[in-house]
Amino acid sequence: MANLVLYRKYRPKTFAEVVGQTHVVTTLKNALALGICSHAYLFAGPRGSGKTTIARILAKAINCSDQKEGEPCNRCASCEEINSGRAIDLIEIDAASNRGIDEVRDLKEGIRFAPTMLKYKVYIVDEAHQLTKEAANALLKTLEEPPAHAIFILATTEAHKMIPTILSRCQKFDFRKLKLAEIVRETELIAEKEDVPIEKSALELIAANAQGSLRDALTLLDKILTFHLSFGKKEGVTADLVKELLGVVDASIVSEFVDLLVKKDAAKAIEFLNENLEKGMDPLEFAKNAVRYLRNVLVVQVNPTLQNMLDDFTEEQKQKIAEQAKGFDATMLPKVLFSFMEAENKMKYSSIVQLPLELAIIESCGLR
């Protein structure tokens, strides 16, 4: 059998193993410990933040015959059925590919029957905002008068697209992006379990490029470990190897580039850009990271107290962003950011891929 990818291999089986989302986990555990269970939940938040994982743990805890303080035991027949993927009373629906009225009608037909093995039938509807209007209205009818043996858990990355009548019938939990330190800590533990030494700077680079998604971070780590182990290497994974393999752009490169923009040194900035492109840096990835970085500089310039809320950066990088925010002219920085946003869009259609970036540099440095 093929080896499981890391995010599936190390998927949490209890609430205690979940990374971040303490506010969600604590509330759910307390409710379960008190025997309080809603008939419908809505988990809203960015991708890779643990919505489906917590939905599965909740399904286990609700049906667990030896639940303790809201935690599933992972030993009883119900827990083992769900852990092995054999539980026919746990129904997962991907609304992105099953958007129509027919799928919801099938759901309504099946929900009338009592559970086969578990105490409750649990329906997990992923990307629920992608249901068609007709399908969403059909689901609403079921949510209004659900049978006592059925529980719905809707997961979405775009709660604002859900129809208000469905939102009003669900107990809503808002998930947040994971912090860089949380992702670094988790990937470090997994690398240790896989017996592959890896530099902390390499893990920080992976975490920064995952942008708050643990699943994305583990997917990146998986690629690196697969490459590293396929060559039988025993030395540690370095940040340079991560840059080379994944084409990711280190925040230190973007930071050094922004320093040149602060100084309005267009010649050096263009030289710096092209030198790094010759070393294999992905120009589109660089443009995306430059926009993201400049946006953070702008936010800190407008409100310096928000410096501590930049979760995708180390403390040292946050300090650097604060310095650069002071160095930029307040009226010029929004124009600089806008120039690089335009460059990112134009690069996709440019015959010379870095030309829009070079023009953005010239404009940002006040040259005409």
Read off the pLDDT band of 233 (50, 70, 90): low
- pLDDT at residue 103 greater than cutoff 80: no
Q: Which two tokens stand for residue 323?
A: 């310095």
Residue 187: closest CA among 23, 5, 7: 7
Mean pLDDT along residues 134-150: 83
Read off the pLDDT band of 234 (50, 70, 90): low
Q: 40 with 152: CB under 8 angstroms?
A: yes
Least confident of 159-168, 214-223, 270-279, 309-318: 309-318
- pLDDT at residue 365 greater than cutoff 60: yes
Mean pLDDT along residues 163-168: 90
Q: Write down the mean pLDDT value for the chain.
A: 88
**Whole-model pTM above 0.85?**
no
Residues 77-88: tens digit of each pLDDT: 999 999 988 888
Least confident of 1-5, 100-104, 177-181, 266-270: 1-5
Q: 365 with 265: CB under 8 angstroms?
A: yes
- pLDDT at residue 2 greater than cutoff 60: no
Residue 207: closest CA among 362, 129, 317: 317
Report the distance separating Cα 43 and Cα 101, nearest Å: 22
User: Looking at this protein, which amino acid is placed at residue 294?
Assistant: L
pLDDT at 137: 82
Q: 180 with 50: CB under 8 angstroms?
A: no
Residues 170-217: tens digit of each pLDDT: 999 999 999 888 999 999 999 999 888 898 888 988 888 888 899 999
Mean pLDDT along residues 66-86: 91
Residue 29: CB partners within 8 Å, gap ≥ 6?
15, 61, 69, 70, 71
Which domains are delineated in the chain? 6-174 (3.40.50.300), 180-246 (1.10.8.60), 251-364 (1.20.272.10)
The label of the residue with tokens 């600089």 reads: 336
Report CA-CA distances (Å) from 58 to 41, 110, 166: 10, 21, 20
Residue 290: closest CA among 236, 234, 252, 238: 252
Express as a percent the part of the chain with pLDDT over 90: 48
At 153 the three-state DSSP class reads: strand
Mean pLDDT along residues 155-167: 91
Residue 338 burial class via C-beta count within 10 angstroms: exposed 0-12, middle 13-18, buried 19 and up:
middle
- pLDDT at residue 149 greater than cutoff 80: yes
Mean pLDDT along residues 113-126: 89
- pLDDT at residue 18 greater than cutoff 60: yes
pLDDT at 112: 80
pLDDT at 196: 84
- pLDDT at residue 1 greater than cutoff 50: no
pLDDT at 232: 58
